[in-house]
Structure 1
Amino acid sequence: MNAILLHTITVFMGFFAIMNPIANVPIFVSLTADDDERTTRTLALRSLLLAFAIVSVFAIAGKLIFDMFGISLPALRITGGIVVSLIGFHMLQGNQSSVHQLKEEDHQKCLEAELSIAVSPLAMPILAGPGTITTAMNFSARGGILEMILTISSFAILCVITYVLFIFGKKFVEFIGVGALGVITRLMGLILAVIGTQMVIEGLHDAFKF
């Protein structure tokens, strides 16, 4: 029983360190700055459900998927890094969503476009990035079915915690004001761009073994 508890705590802390939900709160808030509360909650829920699905699939059959499509982890790191860098560059310009500036008849279509950020960059690669996927694969491969269940359950708990942080993060930013949000948006854009660059560097390092 102690061994199971220790394994669960180890897995949870590993996921927490890699995904770092606290650091992701300002990023989420910046990406949803112009959205209403309902859209923000939908984005948070959708991105975390997608992240949970991705991590669960790779925890169960990660190696098989990589082998089937001939995908390498360095390739995943490089591609994810480029995506994150592009999003970060966009945020550095202070660009904001245009969903609220469009005609009423186009609102639903543009809302769906706005919700697409739940897929990229939120779910993948920010929440379920290469590091998180690798962690899930490593922990679930260490034992049998029990270890796999514990790995997936630990990530599910982390997703619930992250959802709460995302929802209350929006209220915090509303409290500090629009000006501060503009600063946060650019700061998080810089951080995202650096994170993306680091992911590319790590991918290149793993691919060519510098």
Structure 2
Amino acid sequence: MDLSPLPVGSFVGAFLLAFPALFSIVNPVGAALIFNEIMEGRSRADRHRMAGKIGIYSTIVLLVSLWLGGYVLNFFGVSLAALRIAGGLVVAIRAWGLLMQPSAHEERKASAAAPAQYSGDEVAFFPLTMPFTTGPGTIAVAIALSSQRPASGIGTLSFFAGMSLAAIIISLMIWLCYRWSDSVMALLGNSGARVLSRLVAFLLLCVGVQIIVTGVLGVAEILFAHGPR
């Protein structure tokens, strides 16, 4: 029983599910504005080098979370249906917070990245990649997305291929937005970034609700299969 409008067992369906969700939670455009403030006073070469390192580290964090997160939870006895419901709730709650209070989210990110303001390149992973760019919220969303994988079959490979492409494109966007953060700042400004944040947060909320629905349908299917005959 699967009423999902996205054929997640296909490469395209998995990509269309993962890309808007990851874009919404990472928000590379909005994060670039904070990155621009943190890197103030550094040379353009330093900014470009730091952006490249963060892009690489973000790729690793996203791919590991997408590929292994769901299986790790399954190892501890969490069923796929339960993982989908819990993951969907995490995504939806996170999206609701982004939608209602985008400024609070920006302040938390700025606070997390503050120790990097006067440090060297060693801060590229911590705190600029984690928790600033791909923090616990992003990892939770990635694990929730991985719970949407088909139970078995060749669709699983297509699913993870589509998810991986979405993660790689998000990482490329992080690199580009951070590399040209001064141009992003000039183009959008704080108000424009907040408008964009709310639009993508609504998309993330829809993805979270869809994941919950898929999990509930999975539980219903199990109950009907093991019910009285």
Q: Sort the TM-score into its range (normalised by shorter chain).
A: 0.5 to 0.7
Q: Report what 1:17 is aligned to.
A: 16
1:112 aligns with 2:111: no
1:11-68 per-residue CA deviation (whole Å, 9 max, x = no partner) reads 3212221122698289212123232444443443333322211222257677555536
* SS in structure 1 of the partner of residue 33 of structure 2: coil
With normalisation by structure 2, the TM-score equals 0.58
1:133 aligns with 2:133: no
CA distance in 1, matches of 2:125, 2:67: 28
Matched residue type, 1:112: F
Q: Report what 1:34 is aligned to.
A: 34
Matched residue type, 2:64: A
* SS in structure 2 of the partner of residue 67 of structure 1: coil
1:186-210 per-residue CA deviation (whole Å, 9 max, x = no partner) reads 113313543454456556766599x
With normalisation by structure 1, the TM-score equals 0.62
Unaligned 5+ segments in structure 1 are 1-9
* SS in structure 2 of the partner of residue 34 of structure 1: helix
Matched residue type, 2:138: L
1:149-188 per-residue CA deviation (whole Å, 9 max, x = no partner) reads 5544454344333332332234566335436131332113
- Of residues 77, 84, 96 in structure 1, which corresponds to 2:95? 84
Matched residue type, 1:34: I
Matched residue type, 2:146: I
Superposition deviation, residue 109 in structure 1: 7.9
Q: Percent identity?
A: 8
Larger proportion of helix: 1
Structure 1 ranges of 4+ moved more than 6 A = 107-111
Matched residue type, 1:13: V
Unaligned 5+ segments in structure 2 are 1-8, 36-46, 220-229
CA distance in 1, matches of 2:125, 2:16: 32
Residues 45, 66 of structure 1: alpha-carbon distance in 2 compared, 3 angstrom cutoff? farther
8 Å Cα contact 2:90/2:208 also seen in 1: yes
8 Å Cα contact 2:74/2:80 also seen in 1: no
Tell me which moved more, 71-80 or 156-165.
156-165
Q: Report what 1:178 is aligned to.
A: 186
Matched residue type, 1:120: P
Q: Report what 1:121 is aligned to.
A: 137
Residues 194, 170 of structure 1: alpha-carbon distance in 2 compared, 3 angstrom cutoff? same
CA distance in 2, matches of 1:207, 1:69: 11
CA RMSD of aligned residues (A): 4.5
- How many residue pairs get aligned? The number is 193
